[in-house]
Amino acid sequence: MTSDLLALLPPQALRCGILYCENQPVFDWSGLTHALALLAAVVCHALVQQVCERHSRMTEVRVQTALTGALYKQALSRCSIPGCLPSPAPSLTPLRADVGRLAELPVSLSALWSSSVQGTVCVCLLWRELGPSSLAGLAVLLLLVPLTSAVQRRARLLQVTERVLRGERQQLVQEMLNGIKTVKLLVLEAWFQCRVGIAREKELETLRILGFLTAFSLLDRVCVPFLVRL
C-alpha cells in the first residue's frame, strides 16, 4: 500500500516542476528544489518498493514452507509400518502446485485491494487534470479486465491439464521400469518408447500454449498502464 501511494509522488513532483518551468523562465533555488523533490520521490519509491517486494516474497516463502511441512508431516504420520520411512514425494506431487498457489494467496489479496486504491486515486488525479477525457482510460481498463480474466482461467486449466499429463507420463515410465524384465523379454521397448513419446509431445504442446498465455499476461501488465494513459 505504501509503495503504491509513493508511486504517485514522482508524477506529482514532475507536474510541479513543469508548472514552475512554464511560469518561471529564470531558474533559481525553487527550480533546484523541485528537481531535488523529484529525485527524492523516485528514490523513496524505489527503496520502499524493494522493501515491500522483499517482505512479500518472505511471506510467500514462509507460508509455503509451513504448508509443505504440515503436508509432509501428515503424510509421514499415516505410515502404518513400524520402522518404515515412506517416500511421500510421488503421492504429494499433485499437491505441491496447490500449496504454491495457496502460498501466493496473501500476496495476491494484498495486491488486489492496494491496486484498487491506487487505481481510484489515479482516476481522481486524472479527472482533476483532464476532466471527462480521463474516463477513456478507465473504459480501456474495464474492457481489458474480461480478456485478462479469460486468459488467466485458460492458463489455470492448462496447468491442471499439464499436471495430469505429467502424472500419466511418470506412471507409464514407472510401469515400464517395474516390469523391465517383461519388457525386455517381449521386446516391447519400441511400443513403450512410442507411448512415452506421445505423452511427452502432449505435455510439451500444453506447456507451449501455457508459455504463450504467460507471455501475453506479462505483456498485458506492461502495456496496460500505457494504454490507459493514451
Is the pLDDT confidence value at 122 over 60? Answer: yes
Cα–Cα distance for residue pair 185/180, rounded to 1 Å: 8
At 213, list the grid cell: 498465455
Mean pLDDT of 50-58: 80
Least confident of 4-18, 73-87, 191-205: 73-87
Mean pLDDT of 167-191: 81
Residue 119: C-alpha distances to residues 1, 48, 188 (Å):
12, 19, 61
7 Cβ neighbours under 8 A, 6+ residues apart = 45, 49, 118
Same domain for 90 and 141, yes or no, is: no
- Interval 180-200: pLDDT, tens: 887 777 777 788 888 888 888
Give the per-residue pLDDT at 79: 59
**Of 103, 123, 145, the domain-final residue:** 103
DSSP H or E segment with residue 98: helix 89-103
Give the per-residue pLDDT at 189: 79
Tell me the pLDDT of the chain averaged across its residues: 75
98 and 63 Cβ atoms separated by less than 8 Å: no
Overall residue count recorded for the chain in this entry: 230
Cα–Cα distance for residue pair 179/162, rounded to 1 Å: 26
Residue 141: count other Cβ atoms within 10 Å of its Cβ. Answer: 16
To which residue does cell 523541485 refer? 34
Phi, psi of 151 (to 5 degrees): -65, -40
Can you give the residue range of the structural domain that contains 70? Answer: 1-103
pTM over 0.85: no
Mean pLDDT of 205-213: 89
Same domain for 93 and 177, yes or no, is: no
Percentage of residues of the chain with pLDDT beyond 90: 0
Short-list 133, 134, 116, CA closest to 124: 134
Same domain for 95 and 4, yes or no, is: yes
Residue 19: C-alpha distances to residues 31, 41, 52 (Å):
10, 17, 32
- Look at the chain and report how many structural domains it folds into: 2
Task: Answer whether residue 29 is part of any domain.
Answer: yes
Task: Answer whether residue 125 is part of any domain.
Answer: no
Task: Answer whether residue 74 is part of any domain.
Answer: yes
| Angle of helix 89-103 versus helix 135-178 axis, rounded to 10 | 170
